[in-house]
Amino acid sequence: MLASTLEILNRELSKALYETALMMLISTLIGISVGLLMGLYLYLTSEEKFYKNTPINMVIGTIVNIVRSIPFIILVVFSLPLTFLITGTKIGPIAASVPLSICATVFFARIVEGAFKDVDKGVIEAAFAQGASNFLIIKNVLLVEAAPAIVRGITITFISLIGFSAMAGMVGGGGIGNLAIQYGYYRYETGVMLFTIIALVAIVQIAQLIGDFIAKKLTH
C-alpha cells in the first residue's frame, strides 16, 4: 500500500499543492480586499456619525445574506456563467477561484463590519471632537482599533476557504481536496487520504498560529 501511495503522491502532489495554493491565493486576496471595503461600507452606511444611508445599507446587507445562505456547492454551479465570463473556462483552479472569492468576500465583509462595530464608541467620538476628517478617523482610529479583530477574521476566512477549496476540487477545481476525493475516496487509497488530511491539518495549524501571532502583536 505504501508503495502505491508514494507513487500517487509523487505523481500528483506537486500539481495538487500548486492548484490549492493558486485557489487560496486568488480567493484570499480578493476576499480580503473586496470584503474589507464591503465591510467598511456596511459599517459607514449604518453609522449616524459617518455616512448613514439605510436603503443602501439594507440592499448590500441583503445581498450579502443571500449569498451567504447559498450552500457553497450550489454557489459554484450558480456562478458558472459568471465564472465562464470572467475566466473563459469552467474548470481548473482559476475557474474555482471565482465562487471561492465571492464566498470569501461576503463572509469576510460581515466579520469586518462586526470588527468596526466593536470599536469603542468613545474613542471615535474623541476623534471627531479633535476635528479629524472622516478619512483620517477611518485610517488612524477605526482600522487601528479593529486591526486585531480583522486579522483574526482573515485567519478564520482563510481556514474556511481551505475547506471550501476542497469542495471546489470536487467540481473540477483540482487541488489537495481533489486528491483526497479522487484517490483516497473513490479508489480506496487510504494512505493518500491520510496524507492529505495531515497536510490540511498542518496548513490550518500554521495559518492559525501566524494569525494569532499577528493579532497579538497588534493588540495593546
Task: Using CB under 8 A, list all residues that contact other proteins.
Answer: 120, 122-123, 125-133, 136, 140-141, 144-145, 147-148, 218-220
Quote the CA–CA distance of 108 and 79 in Å, as a whole number: 19
Cβ-based nearer residue to other proteins, 66 or 123: 123
Quote the CA–CA distance of 72 and 32 in Å, as a whole number: 18
CB of 106 to other proteins, least distance (A): 27
Angle among Cα 11, 13, 19 to the nearest 5 degrees reads 120
Cα-based distances in Å from 30 to 61, 65, 201: 19, 19, 24
Quote the CA–CA distance of 174 and 151 in Å, as a whole number: 28
Our separate counts of H helices and E strands in the chain read: 10, 0
Cβ-based nearer residue to other proteins, 59 or 126: 126
CB of 125 to other proteins, least distance (A): 6
Please tell me whether residue 131 adopts helix, strand or coil conformation: coil
CB of 143 to other proteins, least distance (A): 10
CB of 161 to other proteins, least distance (A): 26
CB of 206 to other proteins, least distance (A): 25
Angle among Cα 95, 96, 97 to the nearest 5 degrees reads 90
For the CA atoms of 54, 55, 59, 64, what is the dihedral angle to 10 degrees?
A: 0
CB of 81 to other proteins, least distance (A): 43
Residues comprising the chain, all counted: 220
Residue 208 near residue 159 (C-beta atoms within 8 A): yes
Residue 51 near residue 45 (C-beta atoms within 8 A): yes
CB of 123 to other proteins, least distance (A): 5
